[in-house]
A and B are shown apart, each in its own frame.
Chain A
């Protein structure tokens, strides 16, 4: 697998805030990544640096093996759909699409038109007159139809209703299947997109608290419920993220990074296995890193 993006020890510090604090990660070709974390965790700052809209204070960023700054060749390969994109005063929907078509070499006009129809976008309307949801839809059309080798969506569905979000998810998967490329979805609506993702990066307070394969993580964080003595025994040598007691019943959420398949044999022990949603797992892991004050 080749890495199309390398972020090495990157820090972005402002006068009194360190928005991004010594972060390192890499991104592989043709996978869908989830960039997760609370508002203000530093997700957008990182993406602005990757797309050369901000300079890091320290560290190195390589996109397709090169520095992204003032590098036209690289920037044509990257499509960044921002949460709040500013457009020139007179721009209509069709002007935005025409501009995107001229920037991105892989632009598919037929596909763009098809998406415009699905999202019921008024082509001739001025961008300033669009609702929040329609603005988001324009971003999604550009992001998908540009077929850029690296496509980044930053909170792409602000104001989108359930139907439009559903169209987005279906189109993203379909077009990704037919035209594989790297996609980064940044969001705090974790559970809704979790099935679409292959890898996740979780940020908190400017730091990376978790990175890895989503399916692996799904098997690693789970809750055990049962008689407290039995639960105590089960969790003895495991890392406990959270526990709650009710009478003689103990519920413990475990981060089981070993390859042990202990939870498959719970029935015999009189313990119950309860799955943990990705959203909840991310909350536990975020709190864990705060307690440890740690970087990964």
Chain B
């Protein structure tokens, strides 16, 4: 059994995000089969309906699709679609928070830009 991060967010959201990460990082290639909800349930020791809710969320967004009688598969184009979605969130989640913290610490805009360039 593996453990889910205990960050208090709904478990189905965490399951959906994990699948998304696997697709983004290429661990789940397009047109390959995704583990079944029962496999997710026993691996993370969660209710199968909760796992199904996470998977279905991705089906609704056409990231995954269902092959009758076989299981869930990653859609063609899913990776690009997810990249776009995550890029939109990137500004909200990382940039805004970073600028706020920088302000608190008195880091100027130039210094921040320099840091990014040094790393990049």
Chain A interface residues (CB < 8 Å from chain B): 31-32, 166, 169-170, 173-174, 176-178, 195-198, 214-216, 218-219, 222, 265, 267-268, 270, 274-277
Contact = CB atoms under 8 A, between A and B. Distances in A.
Interface in B8-58: 8-12, 38, 41-42, 44-50, 53
Interface of B: 1, 4, 6-12, 38, 41-42, 44-50, 53, 92-93, 96-97, 100
A267 B45 contact: no
Residue of B12, B50, B93, B96 most packed against chain A (CB within 10 A): B50
Given A174-B42, A268-B96, A274-B8, 10 more contacts: A166-B1, A173-B42, A173-B46, A195-B4, A195-B45, A196-B46, A196-B47, A215-B12, A216-B10, A270-B100
B93 A32 contact: no
A176 B96 CA distance: 45
A195 B11 contact: yes
B45 A218 contact: no
Contacts of B47: 32, 173, 195-198, 214
Main secondary structure of the interface of B (DSSP, over half): helix
7 contacts: A170-B42, A173-B41, A215-B12, A218-B11, A267-B97, A268-B92, A270-B100
Given A195-B45, A198-B47, A267 B8 contact: no
A262 to B, nearest CB: 13
A268 B41 CA distance: 35
Contacts of A219: 9-10
Contact of B49 (A178, A198, A270): A198
Contact of A218 (B4, B8, B44): B8
A174 B42 CA distance: 6
B45 A196 contact: yes
A267 B11 contact: no
A265 B1 contact: no
A36 B49 CA distance: 20
Given A195-B47, A215-B10, A218-B11, A265 B92 contact: yes
Given A267-B97, A270-B100, A274-B8, A215 B53 contact: yes
B41 to A, nearest CB: 6
A277 B44 CA distance: 18
A222 B8 contact: yes
B10 A277 contact: no
Residue of B8, B41, B92 most packed against chain A (CB within 10 A): B8
Given A170-B45, A173-B48, A196-B45, A267 B9 contact: no
A275 B1 contact: no
Contacts of B9: 218-219, 275
A198 B37 CA distance: 14
A170 B42 CA distance: 7
Contacts of A169: 45
Contacts of B1: 166, 170
A275 B7 contact: yes
Given A32-B47, A215-B53, A265-B92, A177 B42 contact: yes
B8 A276 contact: yes
A219 B12 CA distance: 11
A177 B49 contact: no
Residue of B10, B41, B42, B96 most packed against chain A (CB within 10 A): B10
A179 B41 CA distance: 14
A128 to B, nearest CB: 34
B120 to A, nearest CB: 23
Contacts of B97: 267
Shortest 7 CB-CB contacts between residues of A and residues of B: A275-B8, A177-B38, A267-B97, A215-B10, A195-B46, A198-B49, A198-B47
